[in-house]
Amino acid sequence: MSKPNRSTIPTCSKGLHWQVTDDGSRTLWDEQLNETYHSGSGAVVESLVVYLKNSGVYDRLSCGNATAVLEYGFGTGTAFLLTAATAIVHRAPLRYRALELSLLPAAIFAELQFTASSLDANVGTEFDGVLEVAQRLVNELAAWRAALPSEVAAGVYYYPVAEQIALEVVVGDAVDYRLSGETFDAVYFDPFSPSTCPALWTRTVFQSAFDALKVGGTLTSYCVKSAVRHELTQVGLQVERLKGPISGKREVLRATKPTI
């Protein structure tokens, strides 16, 4: 099945274009890679279903439980903003670490749209308030990014979002990322596809993700390729395919670190 021809709008960054996805929210299309940062079927819906809901993070935060998330591929910050907004709505502590090779400019973050998103009833009406908070956080994230140099050097950058809610962005090649003793309840695995960015879809990287997870923790991703599932299994994760978002990918992935 061919991809729908969705219109795009140039951004302030050469080669990057906004694409309005089918749920009304925005994602970026990289002209050189010919790849979008999120599903054209819905950037917000994909983030909510594949990452917040399938990982169990939404359930944890909605119960007020302290939660730690590690993301491979910060990108536009969509998954982070939705997770942080959920934590704010439910007054839950959140520690969020994101691995990103190169931070986007502040002007791009400032143009994200969440409240324009139209959520299918199957996604859950409980997210309506979350989208409004996420939209308010957009300008704060953009202001934080604007205070950094235009070209951000490799290192760790801290953003205190709210009381007991914080973001750490580790700028650098995620292939080289090594833990320093901390563990996480969930890993959002969201780099570019294996064909575009093969170095991140390897057993070595998946072993690092496995080590980063707490026992019972989950790794979720949009990619269900058999080679990816095989490598995840080889590092010790229990892999399953789940139904994807409405009108999006037919299947998505969840891998759990076993308790035994």
Share of the chain above pLDDT 90, in %: 82
The domain spans of the chain are: 41-256
pTM of the predicted structure, to 2 decimals = 0.95
Which helix or strand (DSSP H or E) is residue 219 part of?
strand 213-221
Average pLDDT, the chain: 93
Q: Smallest Cα–Cα separation from 52: which of 27, 83, 22? A: 83
pLDDT band at 1 (very low <50, low <70, confident <90, very high): very low
Pairing of strands 165-171, 155-162: antiparallel
DSSP one-letter string for 192-206: S-TTT-GGGSSHHHH
Please state, in angstroms and rounded to a whole number, the distance separating the CA atoms of residues 27 and 75: 10
38 phi, psi to nearest 5 deg: -140, 175
For residue range 178-193, what is the model confidence (pLDDT) as tens digits? Answer: 888 899 999 999 999 9
- Parallel, antiparallel, or unpaired: how do β-strands 238-243 and 251-256 relate? antiparallel
In the prediction, which pLDDT does 245 show? Answer: 80
> What CATH class is the domain 41-256?
alpha beta
